[in-house]
Structure 1
Amino acid sequence: MEVLKVSASSKPGLVAGALAAVIREEGTVEMQTIGAGALNQAIKAIAIARGFVAPSGIDIYCIPAFTDIEIGGEKRTAIKLIVESKK
């Protein structure tokens, strides 16, 4: 499964384009965020991507979950958003 890492400085439109492309190809993608700003950008990207794929008859939904990741040898808790398509 493709993993998109989203930060607080990510541009939602660009993330949405990447998200839509992966959804069209694979049908599922995981987005990883750390912090409120990053989560905000990811949610905006999902809303925008939904508009990108809707004309082709694809609807998307997301499943949020916590996950532990390691950054620079330090363990951090992240929120992952599994985005899947339903036709």
Structure 2
Amino acid sequence: METLRVSATSRPNAIAGAIAALLRSQGSVEIQAIGPAAVNQTVKALAIARGYLVNDGLDLCAQPEFVKLDVQHEERTALKFSVLAQPLAVPLPVSGAK
């Protein structure tokens, strides 16, 4: 499973594109984020990636968990999102549609 690391300065649209591409090709991706700003960028990217996957008939399922990482010989707590592709059960509404 591919691992993406998201920082506070990561662009959500770019991360969303990577998430969608990996879900299409591999069916799963792991995302790691340390700190509240990085987690915020990750959650935004997951929401954007859902929109990218609609035309492929796919949705995503993300399971967050706390993990300990060794960063420069220092233990840090991160959030890990295990993300899986799944068939789209119900069509999502298109933004701006009434």
TM-score interval (norm. to shorter): over 0.9
How far does the alpha carbon of each residue in 1:7-38 deviate from its partner, in whole angstroms, 9 at most, with x for none? 00000000000111000011110000000000
Q: Does 1:13 align with 2:13?
A: yes
CA distance in 1, matches of 2:56, 2:22: 14
CA RMSD of aligned residues (A): 0.5
Structure number, greater radius of gyration: 2
Q: Does 1:37 align with 2:29?
A: no
Matches within 5 A, 1:1-87: 1-87=1-87
SS at match of 1:52: helix
With normalisation by structure 1, the TM-score equals: 0.98
Larger % of helix: which? Answer: 1
2:64 corresponds to which letter in structure 1? P
How many correspondences in the alignment? Answer: 87
Q: Which runs of 5+ in 2 are unaligned?
A: 88-98
Runs of 4+, deviation exceeding 3 Å: none
Identity level (%):
46
With normalisation by structure 2, the TM-score equals: 0.87
2:19 corresponds to which letter in structure 1? L
SS at match of 2:10: coil
CA distance in 2, matches of 1:30, 1:39: 13
SS at match of 1:9: coil
